[in-house]
Chains A and B, each alone.
Chain A
């Protein structure tokens, strides 16, 4: 994929393999944000003068782009947040807090990211609800059958990442949702690791809520999206109250809120960030989401083949179709491997990757994680494999 020239960060002699954490930004995203700050810096929803009108068009234009990008039915189903974390917290606290009753069950999995675990923990504590876990199969994947086994008449919501950030398995979200809805169960999807990498169609999958972050898809930090079905978002009680989201208020008894989506976006939003997200989506569509997905899959396959030839490397998840690979070098702590690779300007992540409860299923607390994106190349993978094929060299140079 010939995208090198689009990214200022890609000519710095760095091999960046931590795309699950964040991604590089193409120049067009940086330019779009800089253009806003340089040429039409005004607040949104203040259409009394030209530059503000331009802001509205750019800001709301991004909403349309997101709607199209994930194939939402209505534009007001797209709520801008600060990131997937805020999106998940908003839906837990603004929606589920109102519908959850004591004894209701929340179904998650051991391999969820902290932001799809901790808000539910808190909700369970406050409402007397119960957290249940889908049993992972021998490859640490979530299957439809396991979900079916885990639900009870008390299950109120299933909250899963579409792709997990450590194991990288792609969950059968459409099938899970179909099954869940037949049993009157809501489905919340953490799309932080999936929306940037594969085509997303919320009407096809029929999920109730979807959360994702701009910065993991070539966009800026500090912006995310909450998608929710309109009829469900209508009943969300805002977590934030303030400017922009109210119609009028004369006393505490006479507060009138605006319609969706503005009602859920109190305060001045991250305008530059939203505009940057719009540019990122345009860019990704130009590259093509299918191209992105297939490039990552083939690169991942190439990486697995290479690492499998190294006898002292233990791959945790060689069987999944995403660009995420977790492994360990026998007898060497994950962090030391990362520090060794850093000496050759190779950026990988070591740790538990915010999935702290995964340990009880996988039995390994810390791993080295490689997470790919469409701008990574075979040559980069060759370098990585080469650096990892000499254990003595790792031992010698890691300190």
Chain B
């Protein structure tokens, strides 16, 4: 992907993030995701029904990379089954960790394919994925 296009997508998702709102609905699983090494702090609310992620909302204070990554994730994972979501998450982590990954399966999340060059921002990009994994774990333990 062209570097300018990547930047535009990240900035667009940062300044006008999708699904950014607080949720008071009990049918959502609420989790907090934060980095001990930086100041990003995001709350996620995930609605999972019959093994399908129906909706994801988020709020919090976080940097451009974290916010954009969360916005993109909420769009990409909504509608996926838990198994599909897990595959997407694993694929995303593989990209971040410079391992083999399927670039065709990541859509907009591919904008972070060179984030490994800034080691201190890898944790920013993966922050929402840490949160959604926690939410899925909570769902599965119920």
Interface residues of A (CB under 8 A from B): 331-336, 339, 350-352, 365-366, 395-396, 398-399
Residues in A neighbouring B63, C-beta threshold 8 A? 333, 335-336, 339
- Not counting A333-B67, A339-B121, A352-B39, a sample of 16 additional A-B residue pairs whose C-beta atoms are within 8 angstroms of each other reads A331-B15, A333-B63, A333-B64, A334-B39, A335-B39, A336-B64, A339-B63, A339-B118, A350-B39, A351-B39, A365-B39, A366-B39, A395-B11, A399-B10, A399-B11, A399-B65
Residues in B neighbouring A399, C-beta threshold 8 A? 7, 10-11, 64-65
Residues in A neighbouring B105, C-beta threshold 8 A? none
Q: Output the least CB separation between A6 and chain B (Å).
A: 30
Interface residues of B (CB under 8 A from A): 7, 10-11, 15, 38-40, 61-65, 67, 118, 120-121
For the complex, what is the distance from the CA of A399 to the CA of B125, rounded to whole Å? 11
Contact (Cβ within 8 A) B121 A333: no
Q: Output the least CB separation between B45 and chain A (Å).
A: 20
Q: What are 16 A-B residue pairs whose CB atoms fall within 8 Å in the complex?
A: A331-B15, A333-B61, A333-B62, A333-B63, A333-B64, A335-B39, A335-B63, A339-B118, A339-B120, A350-B39, A351-B38, A352-B39, A365-B39, A398-B64, A399-B11, A399-B65
Q: Output the least CB separation between A316 and chain B (Å).
A: 15
Contact (Cβ within 8 A) B61 A366: yes
Q: Which residue of chain A is the closest to B120 with respect to CB atoms? A: A339
Interface centre among A334, A339, A350 (most CB of B within 10 A): A339
For the complex, what is the distance from the CA of A352 to the CA of B65, rounded to whole Å? 19
Residues in B neighbouring A365, C-beta threshold 8 A? 39, 61
Q: Output the least CB separation between A81 and chain B (Å).
A: 26
For the complex, what is the distance from the CA of A395 to the CA of B7, rounded to whole Å? 10
Contact (Cβ within 8 A) A335 B40: yes
Q: Output the least CB separation between A391 and chain B (Å).
A: 12
Q: Which residue of chain B is the closest to A353 with respect to CB atoms? A: B39
Q: Output the least CB separation between B96 and chain A (Å).
A: 15
For the complex, what is the distance from the CA of A351 to the CA of B34, rounded to whole Å? 13
For the complex, what is the distance from the CA of A334 to the CA of B41, rounded to whole Å? 13
Q: Output the least CB separation between A161 and chain B (Å).
A: 21
Residues in B neighbouring A350, C-beta threshold 8 A? 39
For the complex, what is the distance from the CA of A399 to the CA of B117, rounded to whole Å? 11
Interface centre among A332, A334, A350, A399 (most CB of B within 10 A): A399
Q: Output the least CB separation between B44 and chain A (Å).
A: 18
Contact (Cβ within 8 A) A396 B7: yes
Residues in A neighbouring B118, C-beta threshold 8 A? 339
Residues in B neighbouring A366, C-beta threshold 8 A? 39, 61
Residues in B neighbouring A335, C-beta threshold 8 A? 38-40, 63
Residues in A neighbouring B15, C-beta threshold 8 A? 331
Residues in A neighbouring B39, C-beta threshold 8 A? 334-335, 350-352, 365-366
For the complex, what is the distance from the CA of A398 to the CA of B11, rounded to whole Å? 10
For the complex, what is the distance from the CA of A352 to the CA of B63, rounded to whole Å? 14
For the complex, what is the distance from the CA of A287 to the CA of B109, rounded to whole Å? 54
Q: Output the least CB separation between B139 and chain A (Å).
A: 30
Q: Which residue of chain A is the closest to B38 with respect to CB atoms? A: A335
Q: Output the least CB separation between A240 and chain B (Å).
A: 28
Interface centre among A335, A339, A395, A398 (most CB of B within 10 A): A335
For the complex, what is the distance from the CA of A47 to the CA of B26, rounded to whole Å? 71
Q: Output the least CB separation between A82 and chain B (Å).
A: 22
For the complex, what is the distance from the CA of A395 to the CA of B121, rounded to whole Å? 16
Residues in B neighbouring A334, C-beta threshold 8 A? 39
For the complex, what is the distance from the CA of A317 to the CA of B65, rounded to whole Å? 28
Q: Which residue of chain A is the closest to B7 with respect to CB atoms? A: A399
Q: Which residue of chain A is the closest to B15 with respect to CB atoms? A: A331
For the complex, what is the distance from the CA of A366 to the CA of B66, rounded to whole Å? 15
Q: Output the least CB separation between A330 and chain B (Å).
A: 12
Q: Output the least CB separation between A123 and chain B (Å).
A: 26
Residues in B neighbouring A352, C-beta threshold 8 A? 39
Residues in B neighbouring A351, C-beta threshold 8 A? 38-39
For the complex, what is the distance from the CA of A365 to the CA of B39, rounded to whole Å? 10
Q: Output the least CB separation between B119 and chain A (Å).
A: 12
For the complex, what is the distance from the CA of A396 to the CA of B64, rounded to whole Å? 11
